Amino acid sequence: STAAAPETPKLDKGELKAAIVRHLHCTLGTDENKANNHAWWKATCAAIQELVLEGLRKTQKSHYFNDTRAVHYFSAEFLMGRLLSNNMHNLNLFETANDALTELGISLTDVLEEEPDMALGNGGLGRLAACFIDSLATMEMPAIGYGIHYEHGLFRQEIKNGAQIERPDSWRDYGNPWEICRPESIQEVSLYGYVETKYGDNGRIQKEWHPGSIVKGVPWDIPVVGYGGKTVNVLRLWQSQSSGYFNWDVFNAGGYVDAQVENVQAETISKVLYPNDETEAGKELRLIQQYFFCACSLKDIIRRYKRAHGDDWSRFTDQVVIQLNDTHPAIAIPELMRILVDRAELDWDKAWQICTKTFAYTNHTLLPEALEKWPARMLEKILPRHLEIIYEINHRFMAEVEKKWPGDNAIKSKLSIIEESSEKMVRMGNLSVIGSFRVNGVAEIHSMLVKKNLFPEFDQLWPEKLTNVTNGITPRRWLKACNPALSALIDKKIGDQWPLNLSQLTELAVYADNKTFQKQFMKVKQDNKVALAQTIKELTGLTVNTDAIFDIQIKRLHEYKRQHLNLLHILALYRRLLENPSYDMHPRVFIFGAKAAPGYTLAKDIIFAINKVAEKINNDPRVNTKLQVVFLPNYRVSLAEKMIPAADVSEQISTAGKEASGTGNMKLALNGAVTVGTLDGANIEIAEEVGDDNIFIFGLTVDEVAELKRKGYSPDDYYYKNAEIKAILDWLETDYFTPGKPGALASVKHSLLSGGDPYLCLADFDSYSAAQEQVDAAYRDKTRWAKMAIMNTAMMGKFTSDRSIKDYVDRVWNLTACIVEN
Ligand code: 26V
């Protein structure tokens, strides 16, 4: 690893204390006696930010003087969570800050709780981007994240009478201490209008886009501190603002109010994150968001390139590589072509050569409903020149396809960027593959399916292009910071270098059978469970049994992730306990965290069902010493950091072939939770690492799912042949869980029967239930369980995002580290 170990802190306790108090006085205008925790939080951030900005300045100087090649990570989402604790850890100042605040009579834990999560993402894809920029800075790679400065991140979830209510998230209320506005780097972006065809002096056809409106992009920089504090990269987020320029006419004509309306429209672009991670079909604003941040970012990149290289484009691809995080930023491909062909007046072939050496694309899903398509009519209205360019790219590509498969129109219509349906659509996935030099999936099985099922002909055309880079997570946030007790225990056993070289955790394996270490390890887990129980009490009022198995499923709510399969099994246990009060099981607390997209009715119904079943079970004295169910509201990064260290069991139960990778699975296993999972996504690679004895695998495989679907899957068969399944589903339709309101939970039942059970919950039920019985037996053998838990932590080295980034650096980006002098 090229990463540097954290060195002695840049400040001692006295100096940090003085800096915090100085900011309390001079930045916040208050004093030690008046300040509340919020003020202490801001003052502490300001004190830390001084050091961060020093690192940022040195990093930018180094990158500038070394004229480094850099990766530009384009992502519509960055799910950063809180930054203070992370920055303190990465600067090796956490202990110092804790001591400094203690001496000031302040609790660091309480201060950290003041920070709102920066929730500019939906789930896995956005959090992956956040882990990746942490690793890039840690490994001292020249890198910049580009995204959107949403005013409102993912909605705050409240649960009212069991149902999800969405409330706006306002992460910047009262000011965000980390972001720096850079008005000197404002960009302008064009939208709408028409294209004029002209003939240049050389007889060449020239295209000129006459935009209908122009908006400003204002950059806000969030420093990204690497572990060890040497490299500080930036995350640059664009905020939309009215350009004013176009409004003067209206204004002068007395249209002050109309001018304000235009301002509002311009500012709408970066107002809110789309809360769906599946589809937002045909939403004009979503396309404008995508183009807005891509256009701003490309201008920013080109401005920086020109500062060093002027109008000489020949070195552009030596300096710049752009990673497209899914197809959301795919419009950057035609935008770069437009800049090169229309503005720089390069000829098409030269421009295309540059383009296809610049972009690489990561696919994050195979779900057909999540593969982006835009109506050609909409593109024509918003980005008329880009649609022309897309047609030209496609025209030339179709000629290549004709060469490879002469006369094969079926292949042509499949590979075409344009889908010739009743409404012409532009397929952003095809555009991304054609415009990139490398395309990757995010786990071995997912990448295999991308090659075999999603893009098989592209793989034949360009056998080197499609590849795999398995996802990872940053061990700094997801072990060191979130689980200090386990981290301290690990430090004591194997030293403190594991956060930079996670494979060192294998050294713990020799202690897996050691009674003393098992006791210490499980004591940490127990303490973490007690702490989570306290949080559960505060958030829900429920007292949970901390001797029970803590069984956790945390992720977005989706049918394919099958929270309802988990629910069916809970109902089965409930029935078994009612029918046989001495039913032999170790007490278990099932804990959920999940947000549903506001328009995804069935997902919301599943949340409602979980809550109603929870209410009944938790208040039923016949079973509640053995079975409890908790739904924690407003699942988010900072809540994950409290839940993950306390998990005994990790639920990773998606239908095989549907979960591209999963990353929560890695976080839970790293913290000593044992997985109950299907052979899907990264579960397969986790199983390879921990070994079959240390994971509970169940359910149909990808091939068996395909075979069952081919034969014709009928959930009714399971319903009528399996008395337990029938009883559970029928139970859901009564008013047992919703007194006086029979049928209130019926939609869940119907989705599994008349709805066709598209994700095969019933087909996998028995296998799941059997795996859960094995979990129960294993947990009751304390020694066996302790060993399993330890082995999970010990064998997670592969899943550090440093390894993912190294893969990208070596096999996609071709970057070299830039050592920043202190
Ligand atoms: C799609 C859309 C559609 C329009 C509205 C906004 C929006 C936002 C996100 C998405 C893409 C969803 C794809 C996604 O999040 N995939 C997840 O990526 C993780 C990181 O690679 C991976 O671990 C998860 O398995 C995969 O579901």
**537-588 per-position pLDDT tens digit:** 999 999 999 999 999 999 999 999 999 999 999 999 999 999 999 999 999 9
- In angstroms, what is the span from residue 625 Cα to ligand 1's centroid? 38
Please tell me which residue in 72, 364, 626, 806 is annotated as part of the active site: 364
Percentage with pLDDT > 90 across the chain: 94
Ligand 1: atom nearest CA of 362 is 21
**Residues with Cβ < 8 Å from 176, sequence gap 6 or more?**
118
Q: Is the dihedral of CA 670, 674, 676, 677 positive or negative?
A: positive
Please tell me which residue in 156, 555, 636, 787 is annotated as part of the active site: 555
Lowest-confidence pick of 46-60, 259-273, 439-453: 259-273
Pocket test for ligand 1, best of 363, 365, 369 (most atoms within 8 A of CB): 365
Question: Atom 2 of ligand 1 has which residue's CA nearest to it?
Answer: 277
Question: Atom 11 of ligand 1 has which residue's CA nearest to it?
Answer: 277
The end-to-end CA distance of the chain, in Å, is 19
Do the beta carbons of residue 695 and residue 503 sit within 8 Å?
A: no
Q: How many helices (H) and strands (E) does the chain have?
A: 33, 25
* 663 labelled catalytic: yes
Helix (H) or strand (E) holding 575: helix 563-579
- In angstroms, what is the span from residue 371 Cα to ligand 1's centroid? 10
ipTM above 0.90, yes or no: yes
User: Alpha-carbon distance 658 to 446, whole Å?
Assistant: 9
Helix (H) or strand (E) holding 642: helix 637-643
Ligand 1: atom nearest CA of 127 is 20
Mean pLDDT computed over every residue of the chain: 96
Pocket test for ligand 1, best of 78, 131, 273, 277 (most atoms within 8 A of CB): 277
CA neighbours closer than 13 Å in the CB half-sphere of residue 636? 23
Q: What count of residues does the chain have?
A: 822
Ligand 1: atom nearest CA of 123 is 15
Hey, do 66-82+117-471+806-813 and 475-799 end up sharing a CATH topology, with the first three levels equal?
yes
Residue 754's region, left for phi above 0, alpha for psi from -120 to 50, else beta, is alpha
Pocket test for ligand 1, best of 364, 374, 473, 659 (most atoms within 8 A of CB): 364
Across the strands, what pairs with 241? 216
**Angle at the Cα of 35 (from 33 to 39), degrees rounded to 5?**
160
User: Alpha-carbon distance 38 to 399, whole Å?
Assistant: 62
**Angle at the Cα of 126 (from 445 to 183), degrees rounded to 5?**
145
- In angstroms, what is the span from residue 686 Cα to ligand 1's centroid? 21
Note the pLDDT tens digit of each residue in 625-634.
999 999 999 9
Question: Atom 10 of ligand 1 has which residue's CA nearest to it?
Answer: 277
**Angle at the Cα of 78 (from 811 to 220), degrees rounded to 5?**
110
- In angstroms, what is the span from residue 448 Cα to ligand 1's centroid? 18
The average pLDDT across 130-143 equals: 98
Ligand 1: atom nearest CA of 76 is 8
pLDDT of 133 > 90? The answer is yes
Note the pLDDT tens digit of each residue in 786-821.
999 999 999 999 999 999 999 999 999 999 999 998
User: Alpha-carbon distance 254 to 261, whole Å?
Assistant: 13
Q: Which tokens belong to 278? A: 């599946």
Pocket test for ligand 1, best of 74, 79, 125 (most atoms within 8 A of CB): 125
The DSSP code sequence of 126-157 is HHHHHHHHHHHHHTT--EEEEEE--SB-SPEE
Q: What are phi and psi of 468, to 5 degrees?
A: -120, 140
Question: Atom 3 of ligand 1 has which residue's CA nearest to it?
Answer: 279
pLDDT of 237 > 80? The answer is yes
User: Alpha-carbon distance 119 to 137, whole Å?
Assistant: 20
- In angstroms, what is the span from residue 76 Cα to ligand 1's centroid? 11
Please tell me which residue in 44, 279, 663, 678 is annotated as part of the active site: 663
Do the beta carbons of residue 575 and residue 727 sit within 8 Å?
A: yes
Note the pLDDT tens digit of each residue in 404-441.
999 999 999 999 999 998 999 999 999 999 999 999 99
- In angstroms, what is the span from residue 575 Cα to ligand 1's centroid? 36
Burial class (CB in 10 A: 0-12, 13-18, 19+), 87: buried
* Lining residues, ligand 1, CB within 6 Å: 122-125, 128, 274, 276-277, 279-280, 326, 364-365, 370, 442, 471, 659-663, 681
Ligand 1: atom nearest CA of 372 is 3
Q: Which tokens belong to 193? A: 């209008």
pLDDT bucket at 359, cuts 50 / 70 / 90: very high
768 to 53, 568, 571, 771, 772: CA distances (angstroms)? 51, 10, 13, 5, 6
Question: Atom 23 of ligand 1 has which residue's CA nearest to it?
Answer: 662
Please tell me which residue in 562, 667, 787, 806 is annotated as part of the active site: 667
Place of tokens 């690497």: 226
Note the pLDDT tens digit of each residue in 500-524.
999 999 999 999 999 999 999 999 9
Note the pLDDT tens digit of each residue in 250-277.
555 666 777 777 788 899 999 999 998 8
**pLDDT at site 250:** 53
User: Alpha-carbon distance 339 to 213, whole Å?
Assistant: 18
The average pLDDT across 449-457 equals: 97
Q: Which tokens belong to 566? A: 């988990």
Q: Is 87 helix (H, G, I), strand (E, B) or coil?
A: helix
**Number of other residues whose CB lies within 10 A of the CB of residue 554:** 21
CA neighbours closer than 13 Å in the CB half-sphere of residue 527? 10
DSSP label at residue 619: T
- In angstroms, what is the span from residue 124 Cα to ligand 1's centroid? 6
Q: Which tokens belong to 67? A: 């004229």
* 800 labelled catalytic: no
pLDDT of 2 > 60? The answer is no
pLDDT of 660 > 70? The answer is yes
pLDDT of 775 > 90? The answer is yes
Q: Shortest CA distance to 100 belongs to which of 191, 163, 195, 20?
A: 20
* 555 labelled catalytic: yes
User: Alpha-carbon distance 180 to 232, whole Å?
Assistant: 14
Q: What are phi and psi of 634, to 5 degrees?
A: 60, 50
Q: What is the largest CA-CA distance in the chain?
A: 92
Strand extents, DSSP E, 327-473: 359-362, 373-375, 418-419, 425-427, 438-441, 466-468
Question: Atom 12 of ligand 1 has which residue's CA nearest to it?
Answer: 277
**pLDDT at site 253:** 61
**Residues with Cβ < 8 Å from 140, sequence gap 6 or more?**
2, 3, 4, 226, 230, 231, 817, 818, 819, 820
The average pLDDT across 732-743 equals: 98
Question: Atom 16 of ligand 1 has which residue's CA nearest to it?
Answer: 364
User: Alpha-carbon distance 528 to 358, whole Å?
Assistant: 46
Q: Is 374 helix (H, G, I), strand (E, B) or coil?
A: strand
pLDDT of 112 > 80? The answer is yes
* 446 labelled catalytic: no
| Domain-wise residue ranges, the chain | 1-65+93-113, 66-82+117-471+806-813, 475-799
**pLDDT at site 1:** 45
What global pTM score does this model have? 0.97
Ligand 1: atom nearest CA of 663 is 23
**Topology of domain 475-799, per CATH?**
Rossmann fold (3.40.50)
Place of tokens 């709102």: 116
- In angstroms, what is the span from residue 489 Cα to ligand 1's centroid? 35
b/e per residue, 771-805, with b = 16+ CB within 10 A? bbeebbebbeeeeebbbbbbbbbbbbbbbbbbbbb
- In angstroms, what is the span from residue 621 Cα to ligand 1's centroid? 41
pLDDT of 247 > 60? The answer is no
**pLDDT at site 100:** 98
Q: Which tokens belong to 441? A: 């999936």
Burial class (CB in 10 A: 0-12, 13-18, 19+), 253: exposed
Do the beta carbons of residue 474 and residue 671 sit within 8 Å?
A: no
Please tell me which residue in 556, 588, 604, 803 is annotated as part of the active site: 556
- In angstroms, what is the span from residue 93 Cα to ligand 1's centroid? 34
**pLDDT at site 5:** 57
Ligand 1: atom nearest CA of 326 is 11
* 667 labelled catalytic: yes
- In angstroms, what is the span from residue 652 Cα to ligand 1's centroid? 16
The average pLDDT across 446-460 equals: 98
Please tell me which residue in 304, 385, 480, 561 is annotated as part of the active site: 561
pLDDT of 743 > 70? The answer is yes
Question: Atom 9 of ligand 1 has which residue's CA nearest to it?
Answer: 277
Q: What is the CATH number of domain 66-82+117-471+806-813?
A: 3.40.50.2000
- In angstroms, what is the span from residue 450 Cα to ligand 1's centroid? 15
Do the beta carbons of residue 230 and residue 822 sit within 8 Å?
A: yes
Pocket test for ligand 1, best of 326, 659, 678 (most atoms within 8 A of CB): 326
Q: 3-state SS string over 502-537?
A: HHHHHHHHHHCCCHHHHHHHHHHHHHHHHHHHHHHH
